[in-house]
Structure 1
Amino acid sequence: MIKFVNAKINLGLNIVRKREDGYHDLETVFFPVGIESGMPQQPEAFDDILEVNTDSNQLSGCRFQLMGRRIDCAPEKNLVVKAATLFIQTYVKKYDDLSDMGMFNIILDKHLPDGAGLGGGSADASFTLMTLNEITGEKFGRNELCNMAVKLGADCPFFIYNTPCFAEGIGEILTPVEIDLSGRWLLIVKPAIHVSTKEAFSGISPKEPKFDLRFLPDLPLERWKDMVVNDFEASLFPLYPKLAELKDTFYESGATYASMSGSGSAIYGIYTDGEAAKAARDKFISTYSGVWLFEL
């Protein structure tokens, strides 16, 4: 079974308070991107490829092979392996039965960048859970899969939904929203900068947001620039001036809205003019290796 794993961007991201458990409560809108990449309408590929097969002649477990872009991570620490292990443990605990399993042979062909705020690793984990659930007869519902997913990462539950969602808590409390960006163009640039989640949160100062992202669907795109912010920019842009320069370049090239995604370091721009978006892409390609353009 083969699955094409998409990414996400954050449409605004507010860090509203620090919790007693050390985590932060946030508010954001997750928006899936790359769902149809590689298709005729979206010929530019922007996804990971997950292949899962089973060997019923072997005892339950997981064999994992990583292809494509290399990841500086031991196999047992890869989120795909963690997801498969968690799924097996949860399945056995609930059903006390391994007859539907056998050995899962998992191949991940990695293309989505990491350290970019695009959720590539989280998406791999969630797609692994959903694929194993499908293979074993869909015995877990969406809520059960989300409960598993949040143990792997705060934004993992979003990819179980994989539709625009307003997120609260640490990112796991999700409410689907209607965000219509059809006809616009999305340009993503990933510079050669890696921002860890720990580094991003270390400099954050929680505060009440000036705009409630629940109302984002009602706010015209032309007003986002003045109303919709990513709080991580305030602490990370001084550390990485190139990111601030990149965001400015998006606006100079005609983007209606530009922002860092998640905790960085990818910057994206939303364009209403397709020709301006294509011209910006051609300019960025001369400087950056990670550049992707989609018509939404």
Structure 2
Amino acid sequence: MLIYSNAKINIGLNIVEKRNDGFHNIETVFFPIDMRDAIEIADSKSANPYIFSASGIPINIEAKDNIVVKAYELIRAKYDFPSQNIHLHKSIPFGAGLGGGSANAAYMIKLLNKKFNLGMSTEEMKNEVKTLGSDCAFFIENKPAFAIEKGENLNTIDLNLSGYHLLLIKPNIHISTAEAYANIKPHKPEVSLKELIKQPIETWKTSIKNDFEDSIFPKHPLLKETKEELYAQGAIYAAMSGSGSSLFGIFKDQPNILPQWEKHFCWKKQL
């Protein structure tokens, strides 16, 4: 059985405060996009709990450390079903702020629930996948959502960008979580993103921002330049997604990919 797991972008990201557990409370809007990985499972005759294989973008970790396998083992520990051959085809780039791994975990659980008629409710699947990552639960319902706390507390919102065009560039830059948070200054916004996102998209450029840009752009000028180029090409709104390093622009008309972007990962789609 085959399923396709999609990516997301963050429209705005406010780092509100540091928590007692060392993490940070944030507020952000998760918006699903049609960039997809593929996950396939099939019954295995192996005595092992699973057989894992992968293709597409190289995955340079052991199978047991892959979040797809972690999600599989999490559910198999609670429900009795046969050993599976698991294949993951990666198209969503790593370290891009697009939630590819989190989506893989959520969709593995949805796939197992469907194949083996486990009867897991939406809330049960959310609660299970939350243990694997803060933004994993978003991909269970996979609808635009306002997220708070670590990103796991979700409120579905009415946000329709149909007809707009999205251009996404992921430069060949890796930003670790430690680097992303190294120089941030948490603060509570004067107006919540939950209210700002309701305003016309033409106002977002001056009202909605990603707080990570303030600390990351000085270290990686190419990211700032790319955002400026997106606006120069006519983007209505442009920003970095999550803690980077992908940047996206939302356009009224289909945008062009500039020559300097072609050496990087580029993706565009009508929403």
TM-score range, shorter chain: over 0.9
SS at match of 1:156: coil
In the TM superposition, what is the alpha-carbon distance from 1:205 to its structure 2 partner?
1.3
Deviates more, 1:59-68 or 1:121-130: 59-68
With the length of structure 2 as denominator, give the TM-score of the two structures.
0.96
Aligned residues: 271
Deviates more, 1:197-206 or 1:253-262: 197-206
Aligned partner of 2:182 in structure 1 is: 202
CA distance in 2 between partners of 1:291 and 1:123 (Å): 20
> Contact 1:210 / 1:227 at 8 angstroms: preserved in 2?
no
CA distance in 2 between partners of 1:170 and 1:265 (Å): 19
CA distance in 2 between partners of 1:293 and 1:251 (Å): 15
Q: 1:81 aligns with which of 63, 69, 73?
A: 69
1:153 aligns with 2:146: no
Percent of paired sites with the same residue: 43
SS at match of 1:73: coil
Superposed structure 1 runs of 4+ greater than 2 Å apart: 57-60, 284-289
CA distance in 2 between partners of 1:84 and 1:218 (Å): 37
With the length of structure 1 as denominator, give the TM-score of the two structures.
0.88
Judged with a 3 Å threshold, the aligned counterparts in structure 2 of structure 1 residues 148 and 198 are, in CA distance, closer, same or farther, namely: farther
1:228 aligns with 2:203: no
1:191 aligns with 2:171: yes
Cα deviation code 1:162-218 (max 9, x no counterpart): 110010110001110011111111000000001122221222211012431112442
> Contact 1:177 / 1:217 at 8 angstroms: preserved in 2?
no
SS at match of 1:218: coil
> Contact 1:257 / 1:269 at 8 angstroms: preserved in 2?
yes
What amino acid is the match of 2:170? K
CA distance in 1 between partners of 2:237 and 2:265 (Å): 19
SS at match of 2:137: helix
Q: What is the CA RMSD across the aligned residues, in angstroms?
A: 1.5
CA distance in 1 between partners of 2:67 and 2:260 (Å): 30
> Contact 1:211 / 1:227 at 8 angstroms: preserved in 2?
no
SS at match of 1:140: coil
CA distance in 1 between partners of 2:269 and 2:190 (Å): 30
Summarize the alignment of residues 94-105 of structure 1 with structure 2, pairs less than 5 Å apart. 98=80, 101-105=81-85
> Contact 2:197 / 2:204 at 8 angstroms: preserved in 1?
no
1:142 aligns with 2:131: no
Judged with a 3 Å threshold, the aligned counterparts in structure 2 of structure 1 residues 286 and 264 are, in CA distance, closer, same or farther, namely: closer
SS at match of 2:77: helix
Aligned partner of 1:290 in structure 2 is: 265
Cα deviation code 1:233-271 (max 9, x no counterpart): 011111111101110111111101000000100000000
CA distance in 1 between partners of 2:28 and 2:154 (Å): 10
Q: Which consecutive residues of structure 1, in runs of 5 or more, have no partner in the other structure?
A: 35-45, 92-97
Q: 1:250 aligns with which of 206, 226, 230?
A: 230
1:66 aligns with 2:41: no
SS at match of 1:121: helix
> Contact 2:196 / 2:207 at 8 angstroms: preserved in 1?
no
Q: Which consecutive residues of structure 2, in runs of 5 or more, have no partner in the other structure?
A: none
CA distance in 2 between partners of 1:109 and 1:159 (Å): 18
Judged with a 3 Å threshold, the aligned counterparts in structure 2 of structure 1 residues 85 and 166 are, in CA distance, closer, same or farther, namely: same
CA distance in 2 between partners of 1:164 and 1:284 (Å): 32
SS at match of 2:123: helix
What amino acid is the match of 1:53? A
CA distance in 2 between partners of 1:61 and 1:24 (Å): 36
In the TM superposition, what is the alpha-carbon distance from 1:67 to its structure 2 partner?
1.0
1:4 aligns with 2:23: no
In the TM superposition, what is the alpha-carbon distance from 1:58 to its structure 2 partner?
5.2
